[in-house]
Amino acid sequence: MKSKTAPNHQVRIYLSGPIETAKQVLREECLADPICVTVDPTHYIYTGGEETGYVIGLLNYPRFPTTLEKLMERAVALAGKLIDRTFQRSGLVVGPETTIWVYREEKNSSEA
């Protein structure tokens, strides 16, 4: 039996919207550029409402090792792609040291 290690980097992406669409986007992403992710359904409750969504876990998988900076960059890009493909407005990328709010800029009604 052999083993391989990598520094422990964990990043989570928090999004609402259709989980099945998100899983398809993740499958495409994994084929295009190797990565291993988890997808867990969740339920958000916030001031004035609630909705269903999901949490994506990204790890520094020793089979595809990377740096924390690159894992965070990949997570932000992935969050943006998921926001677009699931027609959401925003999401969060949570790393070990920072939380990044990824959002779609709202147009003014005069710009529409």
Over residues 20-34, the pLDDT tens digits come to: 999 999 999 999 998
Judge whether 109 lies within some domain. Answer: no
**CATH number of the domain bearing residue 38:** 3.30.70
Distances (CA, A) of 82 to 19, 41, 65, 88: 10, 15, 23, 8
How much is the average pLDDT of 80-92? Answer: 97
pTM recorded for the entire structure:
0.89
Q: Which residue range is the domain that position 89 belongs to?
A: 10-103
Judge whether 31 lies within some domain. Answer: yes
* Confidence band, pLDDT 50/70/90 cuts, at residue 111: low
Beta strand segments in 3-73, E: 10-16, 37-46, 49-59
Judge whether 33 lies within some domain. Answer: yes
Judge whether 112 lies within some domain. Answer: no
**17: pLDDT strictly greater than 70:** yes
**5: pLDDT strictly greater than 90:** yes
How much is the average pLDDT of 57-74? Answer: 94
How many helices (H) and strands (E) the chain has is answered by: 2, 5
How much is the average pLDDT of 48-69? Answer: 94
Number of domains in the chain: 1
**112: pLDDT strictly greater than 80:** no
- Alpha carbon 85 to chain centroid, angstroms: 12
Judge whether 80 lies within some domain. Answer: yes
